Amino acid sequence: MLHQEWFQTFWARNYDALTVVSVLQNVQMDVDKTRKWVDGQLRHGTSTSTDYKGVREACDALWQKNPRSEACLVDCLIEILFYDPADRLKYRRDALMQLIIEEPPGHLNFTVVSAMGVTGGGIANFSLSEIFDII
């Protein structure tokens, strides 16, 4: 499955979306000098994207945790983090990139559903059992 093109494409999209969300959260929490870095990139970066709708310099409203500010910040980060204009356009249109999901504080109650034997040799295959013991 890891060699399937659809899976590799999804993996890359997911990785890039997680990168954007990670930078977004660092900026919102004012970690290190990420706000200063974003502001510098917006002011002095050379944007070639015609589809960019974000700001050209940072302001306090950009760091706020509300849907409008986050949408603008995501657009800014796509502009800053991705060099290729085709990638920028692709990610602006990608619903996965637009998902900004912050986990609520506290304990989460969820269920893991697995079908290990379906692809790995039937009931005799317990290759992932150690992982589930950790969870």
Query: Which pTM was predicted?
Result: 0.70
Confidence of residue 1 (pLDDT cuts 50, 70, 90): low
Residue 99 lies in a domain: yes
Residue 23 lies in a domain: yes
Residue 95 lies in a domain: yes
Digit-coded pLDDT (tens) for 18-77: 999 999 999 999 999 999 999 999 988 767 677 787 788 888 988 988 888 888 899 999
Residue 132 lies in a domain: no
Digit-coded pLDDT (tens) for 107-120: 877 777 766 565 55
Residue 126 lies in a domain: no
Alpha-carbon dihedral sign for residues 48, 49, 54, 60:
negative
Residue 119 lies in a domain: no
- Amino acid 103: pLDDT: 65
- Number of domains making up the chain: 1
Residue 65 lies in a domain: yes
Task: State how far the alpha carbon of 19 is from the alpha carbons of 1, 24, 28, 117, in Å.
Answer: 24, 9, 14, 33
Residue 30 lies in a domain: yes
| pLDDT(134) > 60 | no
Q: Which domain holds residue 97?
A: 5-105
Instruction: Report how far residue 50's alpha carbon sits from residue 44's, in angstroms, rounded to the nearest whole number.
Output: 17
Q: Which two tokens stand for residue 39?
A: 């502001």
